[in-house]
Chain A
Amino acid sequence: MTRIEFWQGNTACAEGALAAGCRFFGGYPITPSTEVAEHMAVKLPKKNGIFIQMEDEIASIASVIGASWTGARAMTATSGPGFSLMMENIGFAAMTETPCVIVNVQRGGPSTGQPTMGAQGDMMQCRFGSHGDYSIIALCPASVQEMYELTAKAFNLADEYRVPVFLMADEVVGHMREKIVIPDSVPYVSRKALVKGTLPFKADSDLIPGFPQFGKGYGVHVTGLTHDERGYPCATNPKLHEALVMRLVDKIESARHKIADYEILNPDAEEVFIAYGAPVRTVQQLMHDQQDKTLGFLRIRTVWPFPEFALKEFKNARRFLVPEMNLGQIAREIERHVQVPVVSLPKLGGDLHTPAELLTALEAR
């Protein structure tokens, strides 16, 4: 039986994680993500899970990586300042192919910025924030319902692709309360287990190695150094390094179509809005109010890997308008892929774009 709740986005995030089988949370409280940790602190012990408040965010993500190697579904939740601290170990998770879920309820930055106000300023940091080349997956919820569903989905993607998956929420969706329909269960994708006798970092044709769980008879060396298929450091062989990094990138980029989650409204339109996260709600309101078939909308749930092929579905597009609560981070990404003008509609300060503001931008031709 499904049931109805009136929940805050951060509560829905924690409940979505629990429904997906998350049994480890390591974190350090920070506004506007704290309610995720609070909820996990209450609920996890009752499900024989572990909640641990670490000394900082560096240790938090480290604890999550460790927990994941024991086979647990593990997550942390933070905001900008904590996210910055996590960057080094996020690269470690990418290099060691550790499934984990990192929630960033974005607030105004840089630095400690605006703790209680919404922003989307960490979209590029989540893609490129750790050093070196790698790929990750990032999801952007636009409602309390999606805080639940996309958190649950993040665990499946993390386990399927052995990669850190980011829930890039924002203060608006994290703190708002609204109606949510809780499903009986959520889809579950298991981690592919390592076949005994196979080298632990030898990938299959999908470019993903099976996972050797600690405590199940495997002795595995897990290192952030460039490693061979045994997991042993091998940091001076140019070919081996190139092959490893290319595999880490390609296992995600070659699955872009499969990972992509987006919706298209009015594909014949000439004027097309593109949004992710909270600004989706403003565009939805504008579309509803205008009832104009010449107005298109691409709403993206998986911002990374960026589904650039979706842009091509708007064959008549003359202009893309991109409202973001940052200075055009994804507008710039879109610009790389299209020939027509991309109009960035940035909004800083913490408030969500209003429908009137988008209408003004639309009318300024």
Chain B
Amino acid sequence: MRHEVRFSGFGGQGIILSAVILGRAAVMHDNKFAVQTQVYGPEARGGASMSAVIIDDAPILYPKVATPDIYVIMSQEGFEKYGAGAGENAVMLVDSTLVYSRPKCRCIEIPATREAKQTLGRDIVANIVMLGALVASTHVVSEAALEKAILDSVPKGTEALNQKAMKKGIELAGAAPGGQKA
């Protein structure tokens, strides 16, 4: 089963890292194939950033995402640039702290930045909250694979915080309307 996942937000939120962690989870811990690509300009920090992952059971030929079936959107500009055109059959997770638009497709609202700041004390882990919510609501990789990939990707000393962020995301997806796997 091929999945195309597109992440967008602003430079500095860890949009590219999110995609790298997801691809790593699929390849290193779920024995699947994945390709991760990104779009960024020389002036990206603060601007809209986009990264994409294709996950498949078979080797991936064309490496670019054409029609994403899963979106993770973490900024309003990111929504406008990379999320607004989502197809009706797609599913979109939005960071409801920062994105006020909503797509026509199934939408899961995750207050990731608010929760990262208030509950976890660091808004920097909002991307990991979104990853937890993504995996809980789509099962695009296993939770165990995601956890391992997070642990081998984040800076030493922040493992516990990131684990908590992932769990928080899983919990928020479970509580959000439409957040359970269909």
Contact = CB atoms under 8 A, between A and B. Distances in A.
A178 B37 CA distance: 9
A178 B34 contact: yes
Given A6-B27, A281-B63, A285-B61, A176 B34 contact: no
B180 interface: no
A288 B35 CA distance: 18
Given A4-B27, A116-B42, A178 B61 contact: no
Secondary structure class of chain A's binding surface, majority of residues: mixed
Given A176-B36, A178-B34, A285-B61, A115 B42 contact: yes
B35 A177 contact: yes
B28 to A, nearest CB: 6
Interface residues of A, number: 22
Interface string B31-42: 001111111111
Interface in A163-221: 172, 175-179
Contact of B42 (A6, A31, A178, A278): A31
A177 B149 CA distance: 14
B6 interface: no
A172 B42 contact: no
A1 B33 CA distance: 20
A6 B23 contact: yes
Interface residues of B, number: 21
A284 interface: yes
B62 A284 contact: yes
A352 B63 CA distance: 9
Contact of A285 (B33, B34, B38, B62): B62
B144 interface: no
- Most chain B CB within 10 A, of A177, A282, A351, is at A177
Contacts of B168: none
A125 B176 CA distance: 56
B154 interface: no
Contacts, number: 58
Contacts of A282: 62
Contacts of B40: 116
Secondary structure class of chain B's binding surface, majority of residues: mixed
B64 interface: yes
Given A177-B35, A179-B33, A354 B63 contact: no
Contact of A179 (B20, B34, B62, B64): B34
A129 interface: no
A49 interface: no
B66 interface: yes
B37 A175 contact: yes
Contacts of A285: 61-62
- Most chain B CB within 10 A, of A31, A172, A179, A288, is at A179
A351 B39 CA distance: 10
Given A4-B28, A115-B42, A116-B40, A354 B33 contact: no
Closest 3 interchain pairs by CB?
Answer: A285-B62, A285-B61, A177-B36
Given A178-B35, A179-B33, A284-B62, 9 more contacts: A4-B28, A6-B23, A31-B42, A176-B37, A177-B23, A177-B36, A178-B60, A178-B63, A278-B63
23 contacts: A4-B28, A6-B20, A6-B23, A6-B28, A116-B39, A176-B35, A177-B20, A178-B23, A178-B33, A178-B35, A178-B60, A179-B27, A179-B33, A278-B63, A281-B62, A284-B61, A285-B61, A285-B62, A351-B64, A352-B63, A352-B64, A354-B62, A354-B66
